[in-house]
A and B are shown apart, each in its own frame.
Chain A
Amino acid sequence: EAGVAQSPRYKIIEKRQSVAFWCNPISGHATLYWYQQILGQGPKLLIQFQNNGVVDDSQLPKDRFSAERLKGVDSTLKIQPAKLEDSAVYLCASSLGKPGTGLWETQYFGPGTRLLVL
């Protein structure tokens, strides 16, 4: 079974530039998550999709970050314009997708995109 795919793996940009990350979840997984992991910290959820609908984006800085999941499969996360503090690893994860049932669902993470903003 193929895992979660992300690209690019690394990206270096200057502040105020734009950048986009792509994620392809595990086949059949309805729920997709984007996390931000700053060096030395745990992942922080930015946005959660159930199919192509947003379930939670309460921690997404909406003035500069946007995400979409067209057709309920692949997803892109965009930052425009980037700030120095956006330097982090952006992790995509997916799970089968039975939200609100109280049943535990393992989240499977991709390798991440390491972003450096200069």
Chain B
Amino acid sequence: GQSLEQPSEVTAVEGAIVQINCTYQTSGFYGLSWYQQHDGGAPTFLSYNGLDGLEETGRFSSFLSRSDSYGYLLLQELQMKDSASYFCAVEDSSYKLIFGSGTRLLVRP
């Protein structure tokens, strides 16, 4: 079977740092990606990890450990506009994206 686990909800304060974890069990694995989706909006690509380690893109970083089937998204200097749902997605052996159920991030002033 295929499963991705991520917390359903996270709350943090403006300016803080938050980490959203993702563990996965899939048939084949090529990489882990992260998407952001505001309410009523389209998912937008944030980052991709094909190899172990940390990828940094501005305030967002993503990490992957293939041996642990684990990754995380790190958001720094949180802003109110970061309030959204964040999805991890595994690229499986047939290059399909399998999405997790999403983590709803609420940033408070």
- Point out residues on A near B: beta carbons under 8 Å: 3-4, 40-45, 48, 56, 91, 99-100, 102, 104, 106-112
Contact = CB atoms under 8 A, between A and B. Distances in A.
B100 A109 contact: no
B70 interface: no
Contacts of A40: 101-102
Contact of B42 (A56, A91, A99, A104): A91
Contacts of B30: 102, 104
A110 B33 CA distance: 18
Contacts of B31: 104
27 contacts: A4-B42, A40-B102, A41-B101, A41-B102, A42-B4, A42-B89, A42-B101, A42-B102, A43-B43, A43-B87, A43-B97, A44-B99, A45-B97, A91-B43, A99-B95, A102-B30, A102-B95, A104-B30, A104-B31, A104-B33, A104-B48, A104-B50, A106-B48, A107-B45, A107-B97, A108-B45, A112-B42
Interface of B: 4, 30-31, 33, 41-45, 48, 50, 87, 89, 91, 94-97, 99-102
B5 to A, nearest CB: 12
Contacts of A43: 43, 87, 97, 99
B29 to A, nearest CB: 12
Prevailing SS type, chain A contact patch: loop
B38 to A, nearest CB: 11
Nearest to B99: A42
A36 B87 CA distance: 15
Contacts of B4: 42
B96 A109 contact: no
Given A48-B96, A99-B95, A111 B87 contact: no
Contact of A56 (B43, B89, B96): B96
B34 to A, nearest CB: 11
Contacts of B91: 104
Given A42-B101, A42-B102, A106 B45 contact: yes
